[in-house]
Amino acid sequence: MQTIQLQVKENFAKKILEILQNLQGVMIESVEVQKDKNLEYDPYFYERKAELEKTIEAVDNGSMKMYDAQEWDIEMQKIDEELEALYGN
């Protein structure tokens, strides 16, 4: 016997479980669903993980600029000046 662990996208989990349960007793000895510990601490873990992976990919392929600390400070100063000009704060 072998144990296989699957990570299934949320919207397909129910269908995958139905398929596996239909095979139980024929090809599969048992089906067990384990709760992901990451979701106990942070229910939005996977959404943020996917967003971070997209950001990293965008930086790597050059479609998003990565600023160093000095560039960041300059850009933030520009934004502050624009907001001050607009709203007079």
Domain membership of residue 49 (yes or no) is yes
Residue 68's domain comprises: 44-89
The answer to whether residue 2 sits within a structural domain is no
Q: How far apart are CA 25 and CA 57, in angstroms?
A: 43
Q: What is the CA radius of gyration of the chain?
A: 23
Same domain, 21 and 53: no
Same domain, 54 and 22: no
Q: Do 56 and 21 sit in the same domain of this protein?
A: no
53 found inside a domain: yes
Q: What is the pTM of this model?
A: 0.47
Question: Do both 25 and 49 map to the same domain?
Answer: no
Q: For 13-67, what is each residue's pLDDT tens digit? A: 889 888 888 888 888 888 888 777 877 788 888 888 889 999 999 999 999 999 9
The region, left, alpha or beta by phi > 0 then psi within -120 to 50, assigned to residue 20 is: alpha
pLDDT at 71: 95
Q: How confident is the model over 55-78, as pLDDT tens digits?
A: 999 999 999 999 999 999 999 999
